[in-house]
Amino acid sequence: MSKVSVTRKRGTKFRFSDKERARLGAPSETEVESGTSADSDNPPLTKDQLNRMAVAREVRRIREKTGLSQPQFAARFHIGLARLRDFEQGRSEPDFIVRVFLRMILEYPSRADRLVKMVERDGAVSA
């Protein structure tokens, strides 16, 4: 059997050629279901696990939209690097305030950056 190497840009859907599709065949829903349920190394995910994965994907998407690496993003927005990694890998979930801040970074990056600099300069949050 020959080795096949495939490269694609992250986030793009993989597209099989007609030849590859015919070689692999399309298993029926029943075959897929029986194969997955028989795999003891791959148990079904719980709703909590699925939610955690969705949050992790969102955190990573927000960081990637800024064009910053994990260390750069963590330093710029004063989020602990280990904590950011835990969020992106689904080991922990950001609390409500961090989620609001991340959403602000996504929706209004210049405003978030300006507020961070203001708090850095003033040293405290004023009412």
pLDDT digits (tens, 9 = 90+) for 37-93: 777 787 888 898 888 999 999 999 999 999 999 999 999 999 999 999 999 999 999
The per-residue pLDDT for 17 is: 80
* Angstrom distance (rounded) from CA 81 to CA 99: 16
Residue 11 has pLDDT above 80, yes or no: no
Q: What is the rounded average pLDDT of the residues 117-127? A: 78
